[in-house]
Amino acid sequence: MKTYTEINEKIASKKAVVLTAAEIIDYVDKKGLEKAAKEVDVVTTATFGPMCSSGCFINFGHSTPKIRITEAWIDDVLAYSGIAAVDLFMGATQLRHNDPANLDYPGEFRFGGGHVIEKLIAGKELQLFALSYGTDEYPRREIRTTFTIHDLNQAIMVNPRNCYQNYNVAVNRSNRPLYTYMGMLKPNMGNVSYSSAGQLSPLLNDPLYKTIGIGTSVWLAGARGHVYAEGTQHTSDVLRSINGVPEEGAGTLALTGDMKEMDAEFIRGVSLKGYGVSMAVGVGIPIPVLNEEILKYTTIRDRDIKAQIIDYSYDYPNKTGKTLGSVTYEALKSGKISLMGKERETSSMSSYEKALKIANLLKGEIEDGTFLLTEPFKKLPVNQKMKSLFVKDGRS
Amino acid sequence: MKTQKLLLTFLKDSVDKPIVYHLVKDFDLITNIYRARITAEEKGSLILDITGSEENIDKGIAFIKEQGVTVDDAQKSFRWDEAVCTSCGNCLTHCPVNALHIQDTATMKVIFDSELCIDCLGCIDNCPYGACQSIFQE
A50/chain B closest Cα distance in angstroms: 9
Q: Residue A358: what pLDDT?
A: 98
pLDDT of residue A362: 98
Looking at B75, B104, B125, the residue that finishes a domain is B75
Among residues of chain B, what percentage have pLDDT more than 90? 64
At A326 the three-state DSSP class reads strand
Checking if the pLDDT of B74 tops 80, the result is no
The verdict on B38 and B96 lying in the same domain is no
Pairing type for strands A267-272 and A276-288 reads: antiparallel
Other beta carbons within 10 Å of A343: 9
Residues B85, B59 within the same domain: no
* Residues within 8 A of A (CB atoms), B 4-63 only: none
Strand partners, A214: A378
Q: Which pLDDT does position A396 carry in this prediction?
A: 58
Cα separation, B135 vs A378, whole angstroms: 54
pLDDT tens by residue, chain A, 396 residues:
899 999 999 999 999 999 999 999 999 999 999 999 999 999 999 999 999 999 999 999 999 999 999 999 999 999 999 999 999 999 999 999 999 999 999 999 999 999 999 999 999 999 999 999 999 999 999 999 999 999 999 999 999 999 999 999 999 999 999 999 999 999 999 999 999 999 999 999 999 999 999 999 999 999 999 999 999 999 999 999 988 999 999 999 999 999 999 999 999 999 999 999 999 999 999 999 999 999 999 999 999 999 999 999 999 999 999 999 999 999 999 999 999 999 999 999 999 999 999 999 999 999 999 999 999 999 999 999 999 999 888 665
Relative to beta strand A217-220, strand A276-288 is antiparallel
**Given CB atoms, is B81 within the 8 Å cutoff of chain A?**
no
Q: Please tell me whether residues B67 and B81 are part of one structural domain.
A: no
The phi, psi pair for A281, rounded to 5°, reads: -125, 135
Q: Convert the pLDDT of each residue in A233-284 to its tens digit.
A: 999 999 999 889 999 999 999 999 999 999 999 999 999 999 999 999 999 9
Q: Which residues contact residue A214 at a Cβ distance below 8 angstroms, ignoring those fewer than 6 apart?
A: A227, A228, A229, A230, A376, A377, A378, A379, A380
Q: Which of A225, A296, A246 minimizes the C-alpha distance to A31?
A: A296
**Residues ≥6 apart with Cβ < 8 Å to A307:** A166, A167, A168, A169, A194, A196, A247, A248, A326, A327, A328, A329, A332
B52 and B98 both lie in a single domain: no
Structural domain total, chain B: 2
CB contact under 8 Å between B125 and A184, yes or no, is: yes
Mutant choice from A167, A281, A351, A358 vs B, greatest count of B C-beta within 10 A: A351
- Which residues 6+ apart lie within 8 Å of A96 measured at CB? A75, A76, A77, A110, A111, A112
Residue A283 CA to its chain's centroid (Å): 7
CA A221 to chain centroid:
10
Q: What's the pLDDT score for residue A395?
A: 64
Residue B76 has pLDDT above 80, yes or no: no
**Which runs of consecutive H residues, i.e. helices, occur in A217-341?**
292-298, 329-333
Residue B120 buriedness (CB in 10 A; 0-12 / 13-18 / 19+): middle
**pLDDT number for residue B82:** 96
Backbone Cα Rg of chain A: 22
Q: What is the mean pLDDT of residues B120-130?
A: 95
pLDDT digits 0-9 by tens, A223-240: 999 999 999 999 999 999
Residues 6+ apart with CB under 8 A from A390: none
Residue B5 has pLDDT above 80, yes or no: yes
User: Could you tell me if B59 and B103 lie in one domain?
Assistant: no
Rounded Cα–Cα distance for residues A284 and B122 (Å): 32
The answer for B 88-107 residues in CB contact with A (under 8 A) is 88-94, 102, 105, 107
Q: Summarize the confidence of residues B27-38 as an average pLDDT.
A: 92
CATH label of the domain that carries residue B133 = 3.30.70.20
Residue B15 has pLDDT above 90, yes or no: no
Do B65 and B23 lie in a common domain?
A: yes
Contacts of A272 in chain B (CB under 8 A): 128
* Cα A73 from Cα A19, distance rounded (Å): 44
Q: Which of A189, A182, A180 is nearest to A106 (CA)?
A: A180
Pair (B102, B91) in one structural domain: yes
Residues B47 and B21 in one domain: yes
Strand order in the sheet with A336-339: A326-328, A306-311, A169-171, A192-194, A342-348, A336-339
Q: How many CB pairs under 8 A join A and B?
A: 74
Facing A271 at nearest CB: one of B89, B108, B130: B130
- Quote the minimal CA–CA distance from B44 to chain A in Å: 25
Q: Which pLDDT score is estimated for B16?
A: 80
Residues B8 and B64 in one domain: yes
Output the CA torsion A90→A179→B102→A332 (10° steps). Answer: 100
Q: Specify whether the CB–CB gap between A279 and A267 falls below 8 A.
A: yes
Helix (H) or strand (E) holding B56: helix B54-66
Cross-chain Cβ contact B105/A347 below 8 Å: no
Phi-psi bin for A58: left (phi > 0), alpha (psi -120 to 50), beta?
A: beta
B97 is in which domain, residue-wise? 77-138
CB contact under 8 A, A349 and B88: yes
Confidence (pLDDT) at B138: 67
CA distances from A121 to A124, A150, A151 (A): 8, 10, 12
- Environment class of residue B44 by beta-carbon count within 10 Å: exposed (0-12), middle (13-18) or buried (19+)? buried
B12 and B69 both lie in a single domain: yes
Q: Is residue B131 domain-shared with residue B89, that is, in the same domain?
A: yes
> Do B52 and B109 share a structural domain?
no
Q: Which of A308, A310, A289, A309 is nearest to A299 (CA)?
A: A289
Q: Which of A77, A376, A47 is nearest to A227 (CA)?
A: A376
How far apart are the C-alpha atoms of A276 and A111, rounded to whole Å?
Answer: 9
Q: Could you write out the DSSP letters of every residue in A337-379?
A: EEETTEEEEEEESS-HHHHHHHHHHHHHHHHTT-------SBP
Give the confidence band of B42 by pLDDT, cuts at 50, 70, 90.
Answer: confident
**Strand, coil or helix: what is B66?**
helix
pLDDT at B135 over 90: no
Q: Does B67 touch chain A (CB under 8 A)?
A: no
Give me the CATH number covering residue B64: 3.30.70.260
- Residue closest to A263 by CA, chosen among A222, A224, A226: A222
Picking from A210, A209, A212, A207, the residue whose alpha carbon sits closest to that of residue A243 is: A207
CA A393 to chain centre: 35
Amino acid identity for residue B54 in this structure: E
